[in-house]
Structure formats: C-alpha cells, structure tokens
C-alpha cells in the first residue's frame, strides 16, 4: 500500500479566511434578525385602523408602519450581509496573516531548510505563542539533526577503523607466512576486536537511552555509587589511584541499571584519565528535591572549552587521534552519561579543574 502525505488525499475545502468571513456575516445577520423581531414586537402596540388628530392631520397606523418597516428591513438586511462578508473577509485576513507566515516557515522546514524560523513580531497572544513554540521546536530539531549527522559520521569512522586495522594485520600475515608470529597477531586482532565490541555496545546503550520509556524505581544513589566504586577498585589500585569517598544516603526515582552505568562511567573515566599516584573523590550530596553525584579527579590540565565538549560522542580530551600508549576508549563514556542524565530530567556539569583533572557533577530529581 503506497504511503502518501497526510494532506495529499484531502479534497480542497473553503479557506479558513472564507469560513471566518461567513461566520462574521452569519453573526451579523442573526443580530439583525433579532433587532427586526424586536421591531415587529414593538409595532404590535401601535393601533391598527384609522387614526385622526384633533385639529386634523394624518397619523400612520400599524399597517402603514409595517409596510415601511418591512421595506427598509430588507434593504438593511442586504446591507448587513454585504458588510458582514466584506468586513469579515478583511478582518479575517488581518488576523490570519501570521498563520500564513507560520505555514511558509513550516513548508520550508518540510523541504529540508531547518535553519528557518517564524520570528513573529508583536505583543504576546495565541499566535505569537504558537510561533515561539514552533521556533523552539525547530531549534531543537536542528540541533538534534546536527548531532545525529555528526554522530553518524563519527560512528562510521570509529567502527570502520578497527576493521581496517584487522584487515591490514591479516594481509601482512598472509604476505609473509614464514615470518609471522601467530600469537602476537592473534593478540592484536583480539584487542582490536574487543575495542570494536566495546564501541558497538556503547552505541547500543546510547540508542536504548534515547528511546525513553525506561522503568524507574526508588533507589539509593549512594548505594548504587558504592557498587560502581567496588567494580573499579581493582583498576584504581593497579594505577595507584587514591580514593576519597563521602556517600550519605540519598533516595532518587530513576532507572537502577542506567544510574549504575552512569556512576561506573564517571569513575572509570576519572581513573583512566588520571595521573600516576593521583586521586579520585566521589561524593553524594542529598537535598530536599534533588540529589547530586560528584566525581572529581586529578590529572592533566584541560582547556575549559575542551572540557565543555567532552559529553559529545567520540570526543576525547586529547582530540580524536589515539596513541599507542594512550587510553583506547571509544570516547562515549561521558556521552552516555549525558544521555542518561537527559532521560532522567537531570543536569550535568563538566568543569576543568585549574589544578588539572575534571569535576563532573550530576544532579538528579529525588
């Protein structure tokens, strides 16, 4: 069954301006009829018959007045109809002019020009509220589409890179069968494949978070953060990272699995992007309506402008280029954190510490 646009199967009807003009004319005609009925009722009190004045003279009776009244009533009714139609058409055109501007902007957006805005001037009313709401929606749509395009380009690059590396290693091994080291080759292929799997799983997590409709429950943010801390303890000890913890109880309404992943990602980033013998501070701050999770770590000094972009997919503190000795992450840890925070209507703040390292603060509704 072919899919068609919603409006393409509809027959052309009267324009809204014509409907409003007819409505205005109809109301005026109804008001005119009501006045004429009142006139007829008043004429009932005029005597019918020959009336004479003392001293002579002519006095019109009810029949005379009705004849004149009906004659001019028809002319007045015709004038009211013409006035209602013409005046209603002009007034409706003035009132509906902003709708034409909104429709033009919507059509341009439909054709792919997402930079278009209505920007309706004037004081606030129903139409300016509609135009402002549409402009706000278009801002979000343009931002989302730009993010999706950038994400798709980065994802294709990230997923293509490990496969290209594996193919190169296989071709090198095939070119020199006698000199290849099978164990080393398999180890490199395995580590590269693990990186591709980690990137794919992170992409799936981002997609799952973006769909919404997550099951939520009342959880203790401190307990979830404590579990995440235990999971990275061995990694922290291997890197000689010291921990500073303050975890008072703080209940929130959220998805337990995603909040656990949020805490794990923040702690993992704080450890792997740290300096030798550095430190990580994990703090939960309860409030009346919000609870905050703060992860602060030592490390290299970052430009505040770079720190503000770390929540975008595939962005790393040192740029997109990996080094052999550097961390081989997918660059999706903080992007996943940002998506989880948005899904819970929370707030995320990533700040570069002047002494080096990062301070990441997540605020979630209780």
Query: With contact defined as beta carbons under 8 Å apart, do 62 and 46 qualify?
Result: yes
Local confidence band at 53 (pLDDT 50, 70, 90 cut-offs): low
Mean of all residue pLDDT scores within the chain: 78
How high is the pLDDT of residue 246?
A: 92
User: Which SS3 state, helix, strand or coil, does residue 219 take?
Assistant: strand
Report in angstroms the alpha-carbon separations of 282 from 176, 226, 248: 51, 9, 11
How high is the pLDDT of residue 81?
A: 83
Strands of the sheet containing 279-286, edge to edge, are 242-246, 279-286, 290-297, 358-365, 347-352
Closest CA to 332 of 281, 273, 289, 269: 269
Report in angstroms the alpha-carbon separations of 37 from 24, 30, 64: 20, 11, 17
DSSP lists the bridge partners of residue 183 as none
**Overall average pLDDT of the 83-102 stretch:** 81
Task: Report which of residues 359 and 331 the model is more confident about.
Answer: 359
Angle, helices 126-175/62-110, rounded to nearest 10 degrees: 20
How high is the pLDDT of residue 302?
A: 87
How high is the pLDDT of residue 3?
A: 44
Q: Is residue 327 over pLDDT 80?
A: no
Q: Is residue 361 over pLDDT 90?
A: yes
Instruction: Convert 277-301 into a string of H (helix), E (strand) and C (coil).
Output: CCEEEEEEEECCCEEEEEEEECCCC
Widest CA span in the chain = 144
Q: CB under 8 Å, gap of 24 or more: what pairs does 360-363 form?
A: 360/266, 360/269, 360/270, 360/294, 360/295, 360/296, 360/334, 361/292, 361/293, 361/294, 362/262, 362/266, 362/292, 362/293, 362/294, 362/337, 363/290, 363/291, 363/292
Give residue-wise pLDDT tens across range 185-218: 777 778 778 767 766 776 666 666 655 566 788 9
**Overall average pLDDT of the 344-356 stretch:** 90
Range with the poorest average pLDDT among 52-66, 226-240, 345-359: 52-66
Local confidence band at 319 (pLDDT 50, 70, 90 cut-offs): very low
**Overall average pLDDT of the 275-302 stretch:** 92
Range with the poorest average pLDDT among 52-61, 141-150, 335-344: 52-61
Alpha-carbon distance of 31 to 77, in angstroms, equals: 10
Q: Is residue 344 over pLDDT 70?
A: yes
277-310 per-residue burial string, b: 16 or more CB within 10 A, e: under 16? ebbbbbbbeeeeeebbbbbbbbbeebeeeebeeb
Give residue-wise pLDDT tens across range 215-257: 788 999 999 999 889 888 888 888 889 989 999 999 999 888 8
Alpha-carbon distance of 307 to 361, in angstroms, equals: 13
203-224 per-residue burial string, b: 16 or more CB within 10 A, e: under 16? bebbeebeeeeeeeeebbbbbb
Query: With contact defined as beta carbons under 8 Å apart, do 331 and 315 qualify?
Result: yes
Alpha-carbon distance of 160 to 154, in angstroms, equals: 10
**Overall average pLDDT of the 148-163 stretch:** 67
Local confidence band at 349 (pLDDT 50, 70, 90 cut-offs): very high
Give residue-wise pLDDT tens across range 118-154: 887 878 777 788 888 888 888 888 877 776 776 666 6
Environment class of 88 (CB within 10 Å of its CB; exposed 0-12, middle 13-18, buried 19+): buried
How high is the pLDDT of residue 65?
A: 77
Range with the poorest average pLDDT among 22-36, 162-176, 307-321: 307-321
Task: Report which of residues 316 and 350 the model is more confident about.
Answer: 350
How high is the pLDDT of residue 144?
A: 75
**Overall average pLDDT of the 323-351 stretch:** 73
**Overall average pLDDT of the 269-279 stretch:** 89
Range with the poorest average pLDDT among 28-32, 216-220, 352-356: 28-32
- Residues with Cβ within 8 Å of residue 282, at least 6 apart in sequence: 225, 229, 243, 244, 245, 246, 247, 267, 293, 294, 295
Residue 197: φ, ψ to 5°: -65, -45
How high is the pLDDT of residue 112?
A: 77
């Amino acid at each position: 069954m072919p899919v068609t646009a919603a409006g393409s199967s509809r027959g052309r009807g009267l324009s809204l301006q014509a409907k409003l003009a007819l409505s205005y004319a109809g109301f005026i005609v109804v008001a005119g009829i009501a006045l004429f009925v009142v006139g007829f009722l008043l004429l009932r009190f005029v005597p019918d018959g020959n009336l004479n004045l003392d001293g002579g003279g002519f006095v019109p009776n009810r029949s005379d007045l009705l004849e004149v009244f009906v004659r001019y009533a028809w002319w007045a009714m015709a004038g009211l109809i013409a006035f209602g139609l013409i005046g209603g058409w002009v007034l409706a055109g003035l009132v509906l002019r902003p709708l034409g501007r909104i429709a033009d902007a919507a059509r341009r957006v439909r054709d792919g020009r997402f930079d278009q805005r209505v920007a309706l001037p004037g004081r606030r009313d129903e139409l300016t509220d509609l135009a402002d709401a549409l402009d706000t929606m278009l801002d979000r749509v343009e931002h989302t589409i730009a993010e999706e395009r950038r994400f798709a380009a980065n994802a294709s690059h990230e997923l293509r890179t490990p496969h290209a590396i594996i193919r190169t290693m296989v071709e090198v091994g095939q070119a020199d069968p006698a000199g290849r080291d099978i164990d080393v080759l398999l180890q490199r292929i395995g580590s590269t494949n693990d990186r591709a799997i980690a990137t794919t799983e992170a992409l799936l997590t981002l997609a799952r978070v973006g769909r919404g409709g997550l099951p939520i429950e009342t959880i203790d943010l401190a307990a979830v953060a404590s579990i995440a801390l235990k999971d990275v303890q061995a990694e922290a000890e291997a890197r000689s990272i010291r921990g500073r913890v303050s975890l008072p109880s703080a209940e929130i309404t959220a998805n337990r699995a995603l909040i656990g992943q949020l805490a794990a990602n923040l702690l993992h980033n704080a450890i792997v992007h740290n300096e030798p013998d550095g430190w990580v501070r994990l703090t939960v701050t309860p409030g009346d309506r919000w609870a905050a999770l703060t992860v602060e770590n030592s490390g290299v000094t970052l430009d505040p402008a770079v720190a503000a972009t770390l929540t975008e997919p595939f962005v790393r503190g040192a740029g997109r280029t990996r080094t052999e000795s550097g961390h081989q992450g997918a660059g999706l840890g903080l992007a996943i954190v940002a998506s989880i925070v948005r899904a819970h209507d929370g707030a995320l703040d990533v700040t570069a510490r002047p002494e080096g390292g990062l301070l990441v603060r997540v605020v979630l509704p209780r």
